[in-house]
């Protein structure tokens, strides 16, 4: 249905080129499409089990979004990574990773207390 497309458009006012990227929603797992549907409140029956219908609805919704690609890219390049705050860095990591680290830390504490 929809492949990863890269369309170059010319903006006469700024004389710049914008690359518009459309993801291949057909290749996404059903769970990812459901999360997209839930997050963006895409109006579609939640009991539909046909992936292609959900993929089409998500594709239609995505194409209706008003995205300023130049602004998104500019903001992305201007993000400063904050490495000084461990709490912020941990929020960027997955919950599984955080649970693994916590379990490791608990095991270390238990080993230190039982060795004494």
Domain residues of the chain, as ranges? 1-79, 82-116
Query: How does the average pLDDT of the chain come out, rounded?
Result: 74
Mean pLDDT of 9-35: 71
Could you give the CA distance from residue 25 to residue 58 in angstroms, rounded to a whole number?
7
Torsion of CA 35, 38, 41, 46, to 10 degrees: 110
Counting residues of the chain whose pLDDT is more than 70, the rounded percentage is 68
* Helix or strand holding residue 115 (H, E): helix 95-115
pLDDT (0 to 100) of residue 14: 46
Burial, 56: exposed, middle or buried (Cβ in 10 Å; 0-12, 13-18, 19+)?
middle
Instruction: For 25-72, write each residue's pLDDT tens digit.
Output: 899 998 899 899 888 888 887 777 788 889 999 999 988 888 888 888
Could you give the CA distance from residue 53 to residue 42 in angstroms, rounded to a whole number?
12
């Amino acid at each position: 249905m929809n492949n990863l497309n890269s369309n170059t458009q010319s903006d006469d006012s700024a004389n710049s080129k914008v690359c518009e990227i459309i993801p291949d929603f057909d290749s996404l797992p059903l769970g990812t499409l459901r999360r997209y549907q839930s997050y963006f409140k895409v109006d579609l029956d939640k009991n539909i089990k046909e992936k292609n219908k959900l993929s089409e609805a998500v594709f239609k919704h995505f194409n209706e979004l008003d995205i300023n690609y130049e602004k998104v890219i500019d903001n992305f390049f201007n993000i400063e990574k904050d490495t000084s705050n461990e709490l912020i860095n941990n929020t960027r990591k997955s919950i599984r990773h955080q649970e693994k680290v916590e379990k490791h830390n608990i095991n270390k504490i238990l080993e230190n207390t039982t060795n004494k």
